[in-house]
Structure 1
Amino acid sequence: MIDEGYIPDNNPIKKIAPFLIVATAITCIFLTIYCLLAGINNIYSHLYYIPIILTAIFYPKKGTAFAILLGILFLFITFVVTKADPVLIAENFIRIIVFVALAYIVSKVSFHLREENLKYRNLIDSSGAASAILNDKGKIVHANSAFENITGRALKELKRMNWVSVFEDECRSTALILYRSSIKGEHQDKSNQDLIVRSRQGKEYNVLATIRHVRELGITLISLVDVTEKKNIENMIGAQKERYKKLFQESTEGIFIHNSDGRIFNANPEALRIAGMDLRELKNTNLKSIIPQEFHNAYKYAVRTDLEEGKTFKMEPWIKSKTGERIDLDLISVMVDKKTKVIQSITRDITIRKKNEKALGIAMKKLNLLSSITRHDILNHIMVAKANLVFAIEDTKDESIKSFLEKSVLAMDTIQHQIEFSRDYQDMGGNPPKWHKLDDVIDSCIKSQNLPPEISVQKKIQNIEIFADPMFEKVICNLIGNSIMHGGEISRISISTEEEYDSYNLIFEDDGKGIPEREKHIIFKAGYGRNHGFGLYLVSEILSITGASIRETGIENKGARFEIMFPKEDLRFEGHESRG
């Protein structure tokens, strides 16, 4: 509860109120007897107002009852002393009615004031803010628990100290100015200030201080709202903004801030360099006017789909600088605010990379041409050597020499097979990945592998497209060919898909004899197989170019089962965009 004494009606008189009431009541009784005996009938009755009013003020619930009892005693004394004088008894009876009415009115007023004061006290004590009350001398007379907690001091200690000392040294002058202004009724609109409170334990609190003077009660209210956490968050946000601003300004990549219509709001120095404009000029330019028309439709579609779904969009457009020079860009866009549709596009100048890629492509083309010519010549010479060896085998009658010649033919076959494999391997990764319609790939492989009519192919693939190396068709053809050559008596090949947490799996199964458990971990190594083949090794290498992988999970004598695991973004249903 609030310490009594800070509200004017709660003064030190209350401590001696019982004594005053009893003393004045007894005095009234004796004066009544004396005056009645002396024949004085007018003045003494007014003295009864003193104990009646004191009781009604300090004990409002008992004020009326006290007035009635005192009135009855007064009437009894009158009756006894005056020997039942009817006129005097009638006059005093009327006075008793006045006493009771006065006691009732004063009790009600006093009780109402006490209720208001109690509400006021409870309001301060239950306030979420740290609150204290100063008397007219500027001393703390009451403080709630929040004020005690934030200062680290109990109320008794707060009463003994100067109220302004709860603030940090540099804040005390500001607090005094607020206090004096409040006393004078000045600058009430500026009575809220950010100050620092230092607790007894040395902890600092950022507070929003409000000082209000209540002239009617002669008190001043101090309210402190702890905003330390808010200040820390503001400082953190400010630091993050500074870091972002520094990152934005010093980034080696161009950053454009624009809306979904291409209107540019901001750009960093690298973006200005790429665009060849200053910021003022760039703000008057639309992003669409910088990027060539051929990229507009793709970007417009990305805004409606990927960006509004919270995904990133990537493409590699090009622009022309003011000097007419072509600048190739790697552009990544993300929508940072869905409500305002503000987009951040990060661009990287990849002109040199594109030139290097072009030069590398030309060099690769020349190397492949040279390799092709060389390989063709080697294969021709191998054919000649094999023919001569075969002729020699047919002409010789010496079995030991024939054995050596046959081994030489086998060695020539191996060399020929490895050279033919190198033709396939050199093409891997030579061209960028693309989307393949899986249904078309399977149909093409069925034709090229001369699938026997007794083997059926079951396709459960629902218009699926796969993002993979251009040689992806060889993967499917190799698996079909592998089933035909090594599966034994098979009657069915099944191709389906399964979705996992982070991948889509393409499942290739047959009902042949399967692969022995001891060989599962080596079938994808180079040279595995009865014919020293490279088929499954080539399959694994082609898939790895785009991050896909393959494993065999079948059961021996029940059939082979190959699971090809693609990243989710590398598989889509025909007609749905996922990659740029």
Structure 2
Amino acid sequence: MNIPYLSVISHPTQKNRILLLSTVTACTLAVNLFGILAGLTAVLSHLLYFPIILASYWYPRRGLSFSLLVAALFALQVILFAPLDLVLGLATITRCAILVLVGCVVSLLSWNLAQSEKQLQDIIEFLPDATFAIDKEGKIIAWNRALELMTGQPKASMLNRGNHEYALAFYGDRRPMLAGLIIGDGSDIPKKYPQVRNESGTLVSEIFLPHMQGDRGMHLRFSASPLLDANGNVAGAIESIRDITDRVMTASALEKTSHRLNTLAGILRHDISRKLAVLYGQLRFGVMKFSNPEVIAYIGELKVAADGITRQIDISREFRDIGGTPPSWIAVQNAIAAAEDRLEFRNVTFHAWTDRLCVFSDPHLPTVFYHILHNSLQESTRATKIVITYQLRSDGCAIIIEDNGTGIPEHEKDALFVQREDSYGRGLFLAAEIVSLTGMTLRETGEYRKGARFEILVPSEGYRIENSATRIAVPHQRHTSPIMEEKGGPVGRELHADEFPLADEVWKEYHDTSGDPAVDRIFGVYQSGELVSVARCRRHPDGLEVDGVFTPAKFRKNGYSRIAVGSLVEACHNDDLFMYAVRHLEGFYHQYGFEPISEILLPQKIRERYTWAAGNLEGAEVLPMRRKAGL
């Protein structure tokens, strides 16, 4: 089969070509002579195109000379055997010129095609990976130099062979390799060849062949892709084979070394933990036995040192495990809750507003939040409040953990994510290592004396927002209760996508407003399991708008709207917030940082939503307001 985009093509022998070309030329000249004798000087001369096209295609360098020869023979026939006149002479000259022109054009096209094919041939020939190609009938049409070295089979002995000849060099018998599977039906590949993977249209498989390389064996990676014709149909396949023996052996050696080191480290951790248990017992006994303040203070210092050793053991155990389990989509709120379960917040207020957010992360994501929160909870930070939120940005998503403590001095930030002896920063190096496994980064952007602010920067492809409208599948999330007035009292939290219909029911008395999970974040207040108040933050291309603050009449006078708006502001405080407020509620929203502004300062999309106000804000009794970003 002739595949023009591959260089190695099966051609007739030179002898057969010359014989065929000579026969066609002689026949067409003879037929043309017969036509001239019969008075047909125009029609049969078209047959002369055939030998010219064949000669110019097969021998592009000689196409011009051959077309000149044929044109000259045609002119000679006309001169010798046709009655000459002016019209016939001009027609003959024109016909000869066309014959020469056709020969030139075909020669040029054939030459360019040959050069293109040679370039493709060189590309395949000098690929570092062993590569071969087959046509649709399974015949070998390419066999490069690297494959000759790998198999010991020269190209000349392999070209044009079919019946799975290519497999003999690898398996010792005839069988379809990946390229053969591509030109076949392919429907039974998953069933018969479960070890074969389909990676974006390329079949990939890795296998160990014990008889290769002088029976020492080789680990090989096979990958094959289809070759398509101009109509997009499979016209063949190309397959590359890469020797991955060194890589596999290195990975195996590293795995064994890692296992031995982990075993040794586990033994050391176990022995040290046993010694620490004895030490803790002696320290407790010392506290009970001695009453001297100096001795008690000394024992306290020993306990602090022992606690530090215990924490280092825990960190080393966690560091051993990271990267050992494949990453997956993790609900951020669940990861935070898992970290929260390991910590004591005492008098520190803690709110997490990451409902509906999932990230593609190592399973040890809870450890990241644990170490960040652990540092914020140190007494030296003097933090009384910790808030976790997220912010969508043009380059991805930022998960933000901030407190109102003393913050971190600028000169300490560069060394913050490395292992240190002092208390602040311990374990953050581990957190940075974990998030980096899936392309995330960890940085600190807070201001000294105003509080610490850690940002986990997630790339665009690494996060998802729970959205029933687009059927994004996310892991089940725990419904947390970030803001609770008291036990059994109203609870404020963000609604999940499947709870949006509940908000729509509440809004039936409020202009029939409805929520859209694709652009809205809705914050609600629950009392005894019933949704009693809502507030919405809608994302526009040019800003965030607050609206839909509503409490049904039967639930008013209980402060529910304050909880809903407070939840929204705290969760969305990383961006400027805009709204149109009813004028008599200006004081209410002022408590949450909203200030009146000129309508011209509103983002355009938000202004357009309120065309019902007819551009007369005073008459409509609504007031444009803005809350600048920040807690």
Q: Please classify the TM superposition score into its range, dividing by the shorter chain length.
A: 0.3 to 0.5
Q: What's the TM-score once normalised by structure 2's chain length?
A: 0.44
User: Which has a greater percent of helix?
Assistant: 1
State TM-score, norm by structure 1: 0.48
